Amino acid sequence: MNIVVVCPIPPPVDGRAQATIWLVCALQDAGHRVRVVNTHASPIAKALRCVVAAVSFVFSSQTKYVVVVASGESGLLVEAIPLFAARLRRFPSSLTHHSAHYIRADSTYLQLALAAAGPQLRHAVLDEAMGREFAERYAVEMSRVVVVDNSGLMPVPPGPDPMALRSGVVHLSNLSPAKGPVAVLDVAARTNTRVRLDWSVTPEASFVLEDARRRGVPFDALGPRYGEAKHPRAARRSMLPVSLVVPPRGSAARTVRSCKRWMGLTPFSGRMVRRRVPSE
């Protein structure tokens, strides 16, 4: 079905524009051909776009459905233009309401828009209570009101990549065994994550590694890497560095930026806090 959506879309981003782009994407995912008339513009540009859309309805038979996202206040007068054109061509149409402000108080602008669109106009509201209040105030049949929950339109985030979550860990910074390796190896033991230790094994820390080996903790002690030698290896292997300084500074920060992501380890609790490092 060819659907025209008269609506605001990002940028700029606001709640109404974000919910609208979710609606557009949901319609496209359902197999519909969607044409967007972006009303996120100056009042004059918005009026011109609505007039052009209305003219296209009058002289074209390709459109099968018209959706208008209400802006409220005086913007409804401009949005009534494509609704009136859809009424003339007998295109089914709907008005999407993202705000209850003009629904809970009498709005002359909304009354004019409803008169232009005609009684066959459908209304999309956020919940049933909003729909009942709207229908009672503006004498709209409840059969013309439908609930569209914005949370149901939100795109489902992709699941975590199990391989990425189990990437190795590089330990940065010269910290004492009590603050650094002991905590990192404890996390490795509890999560069964193989750890790559990139550091100089001091005599003080050697017993820590021996104890971890006896307990079967999965780790590799790669030895120290200095300067530029750290960065290409971290980027090539997509390692998951651990920094005990949040945010990492100096050479540690440069190594972290060469990786896809990193973790900050809180020394007092041993909690792993996932962070993403912005690119330079």
Residue 267 has pLDDT above 70, yes or no: no
Task: Specify whether 117 is located in the same domain as 168.
Answer: no
Q: Which residue has the higher pLDDT, 232 or 135?
A: 135
User: Are 277 and 261 a contacting pair, CB within 8 Å?
Assistant: yes
Task: Specify whether 95 is located in the same domain as 127.
Answer: yes
Q: What is the mean pLDDT of the chain?
A: 76
* 124-140 mean pLDDT: 91
User: Are 23 and 16 a contacting pair, CB within 8 Å?
Assistant: no
Q: Among residues 133, 153, 173, which one ends one of the domains?
A: 153
Task: Specify whether 99 is located in the same domain as 188.
Answer: no
Q: Among residues 153, 176, 211, which one ends one of the domains?
A: 153
The rounded distance, in Å, linking the Cα atoms of 16 and 13 is 8
Q: Among residues 132, 153, 174, which one ends one of the domains?
A: 153
Peptide bond into 12 cis (omega under 30): yes
Task: Specify whether 218 is located in the same domain as 258.
Answer: yes
Task: Specify whether 167 is located in the same domain as 142.
Answer: no
Q: Any idea which of 50-54, 59-63, 91-95, 244-248 has the lowest mean pLDDT?
A: 244-248
8-state DSSP, 245? S
Q: Any idea which of 34-48, 50-64, 66-80, 230-244 has the lowest mean pLDDT?
A: 230-244
pLDDT at 225 (0 to 100): 57
Q: How many domains does the chain have?
A: 2
* 177-205 mean pLDDT: 73
Residue 230 has pLDDT above 80, yes or no: no
Instruction: Note down the domain range covering 78.
Output: 2-153
Of 197-201, 218-222, 240-244, give the range with the top mean pLDDT.
218-222
Task: Specify whether 34 is located in the same domain as 149.
Answer: yes
Task: Specify whether 140 is located in the same domain as 74.
Answer: yes
pTM of the model: 0.56
pLDDT tens, position by position, 40-67: 889 999 999 999 999 999 888 788 999 9
Task: Specify whether 140 is located in the same domain as 225.
Answer: no
Task: Specify whether 14 is located in the same domain as 32.
Answer: yes
Task: Specify whether 18 is located in the same domain as 78.
Answer: yes
pLDDT at 229 (0 to 100): 54
Sort 261 into a burial class: Cβ within 10 Å, 0-12 / 13-18 / 19+: middle
Looking up residue 201, the CATH number of its domain turns out to be 3.40.50
Looking up residue 32, the CATH number of its domain turns out to be 3.40.50.11930
* 102-128 mean pLDDT: 89
Grade residue 118 by pLDDT with cuts at 50, 70 and 90.
very high
Domain-located, residue 280: no
pLDDT at 246 (0 to 100): 40
**CA-CA-CA-CA torsion for 89, 138, 67, 144, nearest 10 degrees?**
-80
The rounded distance, in Å, linking the Cα atoms of 131 and 112 is 19
Residue 244 has pLDDT above 50, yes or no: no
* 14-22 mean pLDDT: 86
Task: Specify whether 146 is located in the same domain as 251.
Answer: no
pLDDT at 5 (0 to 100): 94
